[in-house]
Structure 1
């Protein structure tokens, strides 16, 4: 999010159609003759900015513009979204939320959902786990993402395979541990089923053969996020959920039940009890806004801007997932596309952030065995709506 307050067409006392940008976190002096409107401009700006921040991040609600001021978006195209979803018969879509310049410009719910309804986030949890990792780094719980995971997970220190000892936290964040995986994008696969029959998932993963040298090959898999969550638990002497609850969800006033745990105690949401991690569309928008504002809310840093930058910088380019290939890259558990970065979860869950346009869109849907992605909503309608 741009670090200034933008005022357009202000009309106060003798000021007519004033357009200015006031930098944030800096001293700004407004001068003028008596009665010019300078004091009204200053105080009204402070009031509106304070209200905006309170509504955005206190958890009350986002700034909803009752006058349908579409913030440099084509309102005629926005009005087509509902018709498009009905025409395509996207009956599983539960919510569409669009923010421009911090304002909700479109919010629509289906299937009896509303702004308080929580939806399965699926693998969006991975991007949230990335944020939790960054918080651990900021607080010194983790020294560096280039630390070997064996420093936290002794199963990898005593393993005889030399490649296991080379795996670092960075490799887990970028899905490049090199541990063998043949489950594709699916977590309901024989490899996962075999692991879930054991009592120590970390030890089970440590016994799996290596497929490649760590850091040389991207392979979307569950092993890496499981190990990352286990490592965070060891680092904080608790669970990844404990960090998320106190340092991410609480400041953003996001409500979530405790994430389910593996038999050996680390947080993992893609299993029985995964509904505990469900979030509302507005909760997901807050995650997008946090990254759009470079990790800080109301002058308080939740996660360092450096980690936000690195998380949304490609670590691997032209990656593939399952049978799908495309013009996308991968950062620290975030999907990267030209001009935007994305949290994605199975069944059509998406948070799209386009920094240059101060734009965020959220799509939520019911997950079924025939669920699909709803990329066309973003590409065919939302992108064309941005001026």
Structure 2
């Protein structure tokens, strides 16, 4: 589909429709399309956002989708991308592992978030026996980045020899690399960001689900949201559930909408409501500006970055300007993709949200 046919906002402004006046456009059977002005959003601000992205071809924003109060109000793709593009989600993939775990618990594959990881990795029974403190690592510890496993990710360059991300990529068995890392603090005691821990969650689920993790995602997780086309990277037999998922921006917005509705998908409770609520509640205070849930980021109460009346924003983040924002009190879901990993962009996803999308809400 041509990218000009996907700029829903601009079409609506002129009271015509590239979707032949159909209230729900082809290839998108979830939300009706609405004029932003009908939902008290300033269309001029949104058009300014669209122009700002278009005049910065090297800044890394490749698509933006905005869902407000259950209606699709903005959708556009940039620099040759379109609705069918599967965008690399980078670290947003980690938040999707939270969704997978919730579904696995609902199905009885995993007992609870408090269950010990070692029960689900029988191939490494000897490792747990040799280092019994590792038996205390729970799924909640993994999701809150408090596993206690030694990990070096941000103190050196990502491609440096001392960086665990580079080392795990070079290893033959990612699960083995992770689970054989030494314990340097008791599980549950300290936040230490480890981008790779979703690999352990995926391995535990795969050991419980006969058809494998990718099939589990397709049949049991994304299939319920009518996400029928996604990809998950495989490095020499290692499924990269941590930063290797790709999907369309509309499908990413569906994930955000499911969290907005606390697991309810148009009348069907896909994931337990209490689990979904706990997933985005603050589970760890990281620093002055940031807090963390179960694989979801939060702004701390000290942060005034967004200057909202309620600090209920939660989001998934990737290194290349990928973001999935949910603002419950505004009934707002914003999915943004990008591809710049050099940290040299000036038009970043957080400022797209702050200076344009939130600014447009009157």
Which category describes the TM-score, using the shorter chain as reference length? 0.7 to 0.9
The answer as to 2:109 corresponding to 1:146 is no
Q: What's the counterpart of residue 208 of structure 2?
A: 235
The Cα shift of 1:250 comes to 1.4
Q: What's the counterpart of residue 355 of structure 2?
A: 380
Aligned counterparts of 1:187 and 1:134: Cα–Cα separation in 2: 30
| Uncovered stretches (5+) of structure 1, i.e. residues with no partner | 1-50, 321-325
Deviations along 1:334-373, whole A, 9 cap, x unmatched?
Answer: 1112321101111100111100110111111123434654
The answer as to 2:147 corresponding to 1:174 is no
C-alpha distance 189-153 of structure 1, shift in aligned 2 (>3 A): farther
The Cα shift of 1:59 comes to 4.5
The Cα shift of 1:205 comes to 2.2
Q: What's the counterpart of residue 32 of structure 2?
A: 63
Aligned counterparts of 1:177 and 1:270: Cα–Cα separation in 2: 15
The Cα shift of 1:133 comes to 0.1
Q: What's the counterpart of residue 85 of structure 1?
A: 53
8 Å CA contact retained: 2:66, 2:75: yes
| Uncovered stretches (5+) of structure 2, i.e. residues with no partner | 1-21, 300-310
The answer as to 2:262 corresponding to 1:294 is yes
Q: What's the counterpart of residue 308 of structure 2?
A: none
Alignment of 1:337-376 (within 5 A): 337=299, 338-370=311-343, 373-376=348-351
Q: What's the counterpart of residue 62 of structure 2?
A: 94
Runs ≥4 residues deviating over 6 A: none
Of 307, 311, 324 in structure 1, the residue corresponding to residue 275 of structure 2 is: 307
Of 268, 273, 297 in structure 1, the residue corresponding to residue 240 of structure 2 is: 268
Report the TM-score when normalising by structure 2.
Answer: 0.80
Aligned counterparts of 1:68 and 1:383: Cα–Cα separation in 2: 12
In structure 2, the residue corresponding to 1:105 is in which secondary structure?
A: strand
C-alpha distance 284-109 of structure 1, shift in aligned 2 (>3 A): same
Report the TM-score when normalising by structure 1.
Answer: 0.76
Aligned counterparts of 2:84 and 2:319: Cα–Cα separation in 1: 21
In structure 2, the residue corresponding to 1:347 is in which secondary structure?
A: coil
Aligned counterparts of 2:276 and 2:25: Cα–Cα separation in 1: 20
Q: What's the counterpart of residue 298 of structure 2?
A: 336
In structure 2, the residue corresponding to 1:360 is in which secondary structure?
A: strand
C-alpha distance 307-149 of structure 1, shift in aligned 2 (>3 A): same
Higher relative contact order (CA 8 A, sep 6+): 2
Of 123, 134, 141 in structure 2, the residue corresponding to residue 164 of structure 1 is: 134
The Cα shift of 1:152 comes to 1.0
8 Å CA contact retained: 1:201, 1:262: no
Deviations along 1:245-288, whole A, 9 cap, x unmatched?
Answer: 1122212221334523455x6631468xx4xx321111111111
Aligned counterparts of 2:231 and 2:275: Cα–Cα separation in 1: 25
Instruction: Count the aligned residue pairs.
Output: 323
C-alpha distance 247-313 of structure 1, shift in aligned 2 (>3 A): same
